[in-house]
Amino acid sequence: MHRKVQAALIQLVVGKSRSKNIENANQMICEAKNKGAKLIALPECFNSPYGTNFFKEYSESIPNGPTCKMLSNAAKENEVYLVGGTIPEEDNGKIYNTCTVWDPKGELIGKYRKMHLFDIDIPGGITFKESEILTAGNDLQTFTIDNNIKVGIGICYDLRFEELAKLYRKRNCELLIYPGAFNMTTGPLHWELLQKARALDNQLFVFAVSPARGDKGYIAWGHSQVTNPWGKVIAQAGHTEEIVYCELDFDECDKIRQQIPTFPQRRTDIYDTILLNK
């Protein structure tokens, strides 16, 4: 069975104009499709600047807002699976950082709300508190592309939580997609390393898709990246606007899972029952 997929990660410039952000994403999706991509992923917060002071103003309901309209049309016109980065989602007076997933008919087939909110405080580095304004999601989201390939979604800070990635592996995912916007403090050391760790621990492909680096406000690290199930980085962007292309061969997941069978070898019989409290 053919288990190869052509994919594209779109590292977008994001500015203050929501309509320009949406239109730019639309054009880049067409470009990626024209170069052969069947699975396309966008960055975290691609319709709005990234900052707690922007989330309310830029929030939209899903699937009725203008950003979802574009995403649905773009998926349909280009006949691609589209992971629509994230947008601030308004629902019942609450705001979430939410990723939508669209199938080649333009149908919404998944919605994931960021589970681990980005609250950190590094003096002299970065302080950010998403929980001032956002509500966390409590659920996983997977979807299936051609040939039964299962994909799981996380968002940015979620990359740091290996439990989430492992839950997806236990649901037989072979690819995890994280729209994300790391920063100039944590990006240099943690961005690449965390993706390699999640990929290797769980023996699956990992995408992380960043906005391009701007020069004001929250400065994103960029470097959208594809890591294979061996933990090898197989494609990576610089920090400006660009599209990263890759061909994924999902037989690689089967191979490493057979050759280094860590999942059936886990000693779940003793970790929490005997050793945790010893």
- One-letter amino acid at 59 equals S
Q: Which stretch binds ligand AKG (CB under 6 A): 18-26, 59-67, 101-109, 154-162?
A: 154-162
Select from 69, 76, 160, 166 the one that contacts ligand AKG (CB under 6 A): 160
Catalytic residue among 33, 38, 111, 114: 114
Q: Which stretch binds ligand AKG (CB under 6 A): 15-23, 180-188, 198-206, 260-268?
A: 180-188
> In terms of DSSP bridges, do strands 94-102 and 81-83 run parallel, antiparallel, or are they unpaired?
antiparallel
Select from 58, 96, 102, 118 the one that contacts ligand AKG (CB under 6 A): 118
Q: Which two tokens stand for residue 169?
A: 């592996």
Residues 162, 197 contacting (CB under 8 angstroms): yes
- Between 117 and 145, whose beta carbon lies closer to ligand AKG? 117
Residue with token string 């594209």: 8
Q: Which two tokens stand for residue 75?
A: 């998926």
What is the closest distance, in whole angstroms, from the C-beta atom of residue 211 to ligand AKG in the complex?
Answer: 10
- One-letter amino acid at 96 equals Y
Q: Which stretch binds ligand AKG (CB under 6 A): 31-39, 156-164, 204-212, 225-233?
A: 156-164
Catalytic residue among 45, 68, 99, 156: 156
By the 10 Å C-beta count (0-12 exposed, 13-18 middle, 19+ buried), 249 is classed as middle
Residue with token string 């994909």: 151
Q: Which two tokens stand for residue 214?
A: 């701007």
What is the closest distance, in whole angstroms, from the C-beta atom of residue 144 to ligand AKG in the complex?
Answer: 26
Interacting residue ranges for ligand AKG, rule: CB under 6 A? 44, 118, 156-157, 160, 181-183, 186, 190
